[in-house]
């Protein structure tokens, strides 16, 4: 029974229901009739909890237990049939029934559902079709079957025949009267003839009052149908419903979801591209190492002094290289040179001459030809520029001379041309190459190092001293400290120690000659009235050969510097790529800026488009979400059902992002000058794009969830009112 006491409802300052009290008996069919706008639907909405009364009470009798309207038992014991039916239009009839059962955590085998459908004149084929393709009568019979299967105590029908013709209306009421024996049925209708034929009680709502019109308690003898096998919904049933709902949702709104996917990917790709352009020098690698020197690192002392053998040995110990080459003399140390062929001469600067060893690696790297024989120390690879300027026909095998104009005692040396520089490297198009050991030999044979300079820097003393030659420590008398043990150690005389006021222990000391600059330490003091420097034979030999200022390392490890941080305590490790990029970035500054700004603009537009589409999508789900609410789905369950299709799109966007970002990025960069031989690294680029994808996915999902939550919070009455 439904017992109503002093029920009042006011809308727009007008009383729709005024202090109404009435009892609707259990397991009977009661019709409520009246004129349009008299409040019939409002009364039914209050009984079904779609609307709240302003005052009064509604009690329900469920299994001999009387409960009020706030009791949670009510939610699982009321089903509603609307005039506009309120089924999920894009989904099949059978799926509507399964979802309705799951709302109450119920499960009925599909075969039994189809069997019960025959009671309402529905066959299997009809149930398998989308609801939107069914007639009004078929839809209402599905709605009736939904209420019967869910086993509600109360069935509330709001104009269930309003959209049906006379024959279908009669058939529907006959089915209700036949199948609803165990239910308390309230039917709002304007059709008095149907009410008289099928109603046990008939009430007329007029001027806010409910007037009992008639009753015929013996007119309807309702038969009982066999109840289906009902059990609790298991996980498999729930997951199948979820996946089917998600698939149909995506299929039915494919255009809108496709736009979401398109704009999400556009957002990710545009922001990812903008970030990568800002960090282009960190994520780019070379498709042509020979041309770009992408794997080349320089190692040199932080104080710009010469490297000692033990320091060079530490580089070899890394075992993280393809090749290591020592640079004995920097280009500026060679000064001005003259190259001569027969009577033709050209002056050039030493930076255009580079040392090369006879290894296959270097010959392939710099000359693109491992067959060139550089075993003859006085071999030279001449550049095309000098071949043309010197007018050398058939240059291979011809003799040319190099004159070191500035620093060498015997400056003229003859070389045999063994090849032409193919200009592989983009930053070294006019280089000439000679055997690196020749530079060392030329240097070692000269006499420019007959003067040495020792400089002391300390708080107590700053001074510079000149010496004619180093002496060996074998014949000196040590008076303090010890003999040298390390390559960077020297001895100084007592006279020199007196001059520097015994500050050598606190001083930074540099030993220099014409080309060499070495950071040294004083190991001890020897007795002498002259200002002298002594060292071991090994150190003497070291100080008198070509100094190594740079070591060139070729390594495929893009993280060579970070992986070998221990080396950076004394050494400065620098990638050649920095120099390459400075030139490329400068050439493409405007284009890169344009791409970056365009990417940001596309991102902003895409975000705005996503907001609009999210609003449209969520509004389109308004009615469906309301149906889930009246089917007793909780908020978290509703969010799962309506968000899984969107999460599916997010997953698809991840796959497409991974598939598209790399070719897109490199296609754009390949159109820029200097980037033809470069490409971004898949791994480093992917990390940036995945970060952007994750961020945009979270933001998009949050926005979509907020739109859905906003709709969920709308009152049920208003949800269905707008549809």
For residue 130, the model assigns a pLDDT of 94
Q: Which of 543, 564, 597 is the last residue of a domain?
A: 543
CA distance 313 to 526: 31
Regarding whether 369 and 492 lie in a shared domain, the answer is no
Query: E strand or H helix at 221, and its extent?
Result: none
CA distance 460 to 453: 19
Assigned token pair, 68: 């009020």
For residue 332, the model assigns a pLDDT of 62
The alpha-carbon radius of gyration of the chain (Å, integer) is 46
Domain assignment present for 392: yes
Domain assignment present for 304: no
- Scored b (16 or more CB within 10 A) or e, 450-475 reads eebebebebeeeeeebebeebbebee
Per residue in 378-432, pLDDT (tens digit) is: 999 898 889 999 999 999 999 999 988 876 665 688 999 998 886 655 555 678 8
Regarding whether 182 and 39 lie in a shared domain, the answer is yes
Distance of CA 199 to the CA centre of its chain: 64
For residue 290, the model assigns a pLDDT of 66
Residue 679: which residues within 8 A CB-CB, separation 6 or more? 284, 285, 286, 287, 666, 669, 670
470, 543 in Cβ contact below 8 A?
A: yes
Regarding whether 333 and 277 lie in a shared domain, the answer is no
CA distance 294 to 563: 17
638, 628 in Cβ contact below 8 A?
A: yes
List phi, psi (to 5°) of 249: -60, -45
Beta strands across the sheet bearing 65-68: 14-24, 2-11, 55-62, 65-68
Regarding whether 531 and 427 lie in a shared domain, the answer is no
> Can you give the residue range of the structural domain that contains 167?
2-233
Which of 686, 681, 683 is closest to 655 using CA atoms? 686
Total domain count, the chain: 4
Sign of the torsion angle spanned by Cα atoms 257, 258, 261, 267: negative
The DSSP result for 359-398, as a single string, is: -HHHIIIIIS-TT----STTEEEE-HHHHHHHT-SS-TT-
Q: Which of 488, 519, 543 is the last residue of a domain?
A: 543
CATH number, domain with residue 209:
3.40.50.300
214 Ramachandran zone, left/alpha/beta (phi>0; psi -120 to 50): beta
Which of 44, 45, 2, 34 is closest to 21 using CA atoms? 2
Residue listed under structure tokens 């960069």: 669
Regarding whether 592 and 641 lie in a shared domain, the answer is yes
Which DSSP category does 71 fall into? S
Domain assignment present for 183: yes
Regarding whether 186 and 155 lie in a shared domain, the answer is yes
Query: E strand or H helix at 429, and its extent?
Result: none
For residue 219, the model assigns a pLDDT of 47
Regarding whether 280 and 346 lie in a shared domain, the answer is no
Domain assignment present for 297: no
For residue 223, the model assigns a pLDDT of 42
List, in sequence order, every residue forming a beta bridge with 59; answer none if it has no partner.
Answer: 3, 68
Helix boundaries (H) for 110-198: 110-117, 124-128, 136-149, 166-179, 192-198
Residue listed under structure tokens 């000064």: 335
Which of 576, 581, 556 is closest to 279 using CA atoms? 581
Distance of CA 618 to the CA centre of its chain: 26
Strand, helix or coil for residue 347 = strand
CA distance 541 to 359: 26
337, 348 in Cβ contact below 8 A?
A: yes
* Alpha-carbon distances, residue 351 vs 79, 354, 355, 619 (angstroms): 91, 7, 11, 71
Beta strands across the sheet bearing 296-301: 323-327, 550-554, 296-301, 571-575
* Alpha-carbon distances, residue 30 vs 2, 72, 723 (angstroms): 11, 24, 27
Assigned token pair, 569: 């305590």
Assigned token pair, 110: 């599909």
436, 399 in Cβ contact below 8 A?
A: no
Under-70 pLDDT residues of the chain: 214-228, 280-292, 329-333, 370, 407-411, 422-429, 446-450, 577-589, 674-679, 721-723
291, 426 in Cβ contact below 8 A?
A: yes
Assigned token pair, 531: 């200002």
Residue 418: which residues within 8 A CB-CB, separation 6 or more? 372, 373, 374, 376, 379, 380, 381, 396
Query: E strand or H helix at 684, and its extent?
Result: helix 682-712
Which DSSP category does 108 fall into? -
Residue 163: which residues within 8 A CB-CB, separation 6 or more? 83, 84, 85, 136
Q: Which of 391, 412, 446 is the last residue of a domain?
A: 446
Per residue in 504-552, pLDDT (tens digit) is: 887 889 998 877 889 999 999 999 999 999 999 999 888 888 788 889 8
Domain assignment present for 552: no
Domain assignment present for 294: no
Assigned token pair, 334: 């060679």
Query: E strand or H helix at 222, and its extent?
Result: none
CA distance 120 to 140: 10
Regarding whether 183 and 58 lie in a shared domain, the answer is yes
Distance of CA 490 to the CA centre of its chain: 58
380, 416 in Cβ contact below 8 A?
A: yes
CA distance 168 to 365: 88
Question: Residue 713 class from Cβ within 10 Å (0-12 exposed, 13-18 middle, 19+ buried)?
Answer: exposed
Regarding whether 346 and 390 lie in a shared domain, the answer is yes
Domain assignment present for 228: yes
* Alpha-carbon distances, residue 450 vs 288, 312, 380, 496 (angstroms): 46, 26, 30, 19
User: DSSP 3-state helix, strand, coil percentages of the chain (rounded to 5)?
Assistant: 45, 25, 30
* Alpha-carbon distances, residue 705 vs 616, 623, 644 (angstroms): 13, 16, 11
Which of 715, 701, 656, 544 is closest to 265 using CA atoms? 656
Domain assignment present for 383: yes
Residue 480: which residues within 8 A CB-CB, separation 6 or more? 524, 525
Residue listed under structure tokens 């400089």: 455
Residue 659: which residues within 8 A CB-CB, separation 6 or more? none
Regarding whether 8 and 153 lie in a shared domain, the answer is yes
Regarding whether 697 and 598 lie in a shared domain, the answer is yes
Max Cα distance, the chain (Å): 141
Regarding whether 459 and 432 lie in a shared domain, the answer is no
Q: What is the CB neighbour count within 10 angstroms for residue 507? A: 19
Q: What is the CB neighbour count within 10 angstroms for residue 591? A: 16
């Amino acid at each position: 029974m439904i017992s109503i006491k002093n029920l009042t409802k006011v809308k727009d300052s007008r009383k729709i229901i005024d202090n109404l009290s009435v009892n609707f008996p259990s397991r009977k069919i009661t019709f409520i009739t009246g004129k349009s706008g008299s409040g019939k639907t409002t009364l039914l909405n209050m009984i079904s909890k779609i609307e709240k009364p302003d005052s009064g009470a509604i009690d329900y009798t469920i299994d001999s237990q009387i409960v009020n309207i706030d009791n949670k038992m009510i939610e699982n014991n009321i089903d509603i049939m609307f005039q506009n039916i309120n089924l999920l239009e894009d989904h099949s009839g059978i799926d509507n029934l399964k979802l309705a059962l799951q709302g109450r955590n119920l499960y009925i085998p599909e075969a039994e559902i189809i069997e019960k459908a025959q009671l309402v004149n529905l066959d299997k084929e009809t149930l398998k079709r989308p609801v939107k393709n069914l007639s009004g009568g078929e839809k209402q019979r599905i709605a009736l079957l939904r209420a019967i299967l869910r086993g509600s105590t109360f069935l509330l029908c709001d104009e269930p025949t309003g959209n049906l013709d006379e024959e279908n209306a009669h058939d529907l009421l006959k089915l209700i009267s036949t199948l609803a024996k165990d239910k308390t049925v309230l039917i709002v209708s304007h059709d008095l003839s149907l009410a008289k034929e099928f109603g046990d009680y008939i009430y007329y709502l007029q001027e806010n009052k409910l007037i009992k019109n008639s009753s015929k308690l013996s007119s309807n003898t309702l038969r009982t149908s066999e109840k289906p096998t009902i059990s609790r919904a298991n996980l498999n049933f729930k997951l199948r419903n979820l996946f089917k709902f998600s698939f149909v949702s995506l299929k039915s709104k494919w255009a809108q979801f496709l736009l979401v996917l398109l704009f999400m990917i556009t957002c990710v790709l545009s922001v990812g591209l903008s970030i990568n352009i800002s960090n282009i020098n960190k994520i780019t690698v070379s498709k042509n190492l020979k041309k770009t020197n992408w794997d080349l690192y320089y190692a040199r002392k932080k104080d710009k002094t010469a490297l000692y053998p033990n320091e060079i040995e530490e580089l070899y110990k890394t075992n993280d290289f393809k090749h290591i080459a020592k640079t004995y003399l920097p280009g500026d140390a060679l000064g001005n040179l003259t190259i001569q062929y027969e009577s033709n001469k050209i002056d050039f600067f030493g930076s255009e001459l580079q040392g090369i060893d006879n290894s296959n690696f270097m010959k392939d790297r710099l000359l693109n030809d491992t067959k060139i024989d550089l075993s003859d120390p006085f071999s030279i690879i001449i550049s095309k520029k000098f071949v043309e300027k010197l007018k050398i026909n058939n240059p291979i095998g011809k003799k040319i001379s190099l004159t070191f104009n500035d620093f060498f005692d015997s400056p003229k040396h003859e070389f045999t041309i063994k090849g032409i520089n193919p200009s592989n490297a983009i930053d070294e198009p006019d280089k000439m190459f000679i055997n690196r050991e020749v530079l060392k030999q030329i240097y070692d044979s000269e006499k420019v190092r007959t003067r040495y300079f020792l400089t002391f820097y300390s708080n107590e003393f700053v001074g510079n001293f000149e010496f004619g030659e180093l002496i060996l420590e074998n014949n000196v008398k040590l008076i303090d400290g010890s003999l040298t043990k390390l390559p960077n150690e020297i001895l100084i005389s007592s006279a020199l120690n007196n001059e520097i006021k015994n500050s050598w222990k606190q001083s930074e000391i540099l030993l220099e000659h014409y080309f060499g600059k070495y950071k040294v330490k004083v190991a001890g003091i020897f007795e002498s009235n002259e200002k002298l420097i002594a060292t071991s034979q090994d150190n003497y030999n070291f100080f008198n050969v070509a100094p190594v200022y740079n070591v060139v390392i070729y390594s495929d490890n893009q993280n060579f510097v970070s992986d070998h941080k221990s080396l950076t305590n004394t050494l400065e490790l620098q990638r050649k790529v920095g120099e390459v990029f400075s030139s490329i970035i400068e050439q493409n500054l405007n284009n890169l800026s344009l791409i970056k700004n365009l990417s940001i603009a596309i991102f902003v537009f895409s975000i705005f488009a996503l907001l609009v589409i999210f609003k449209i999508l969520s509004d389109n789900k308004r009615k469906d979400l309301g149906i889930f609410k009246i089917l007793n789905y909780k908020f978290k369950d509703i969010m799962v059902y309506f968000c899984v299709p969107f999460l599916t799109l997010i997953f698809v966007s991840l796959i497409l992002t991974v598939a598209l970002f790399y070719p897109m990025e490199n296609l754009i960069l390949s159109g820029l000058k200097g980037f033809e031989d470069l490409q971004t690294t898949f791994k480093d680029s992917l990390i940036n794009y995945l970060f952007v994808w994750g961020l945009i996915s979270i933001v998009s999902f949050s926005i979509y969830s907020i739109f859905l939550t906003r709709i969920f919070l709308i009152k049920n009455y208003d949800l269905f009112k707008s549809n």
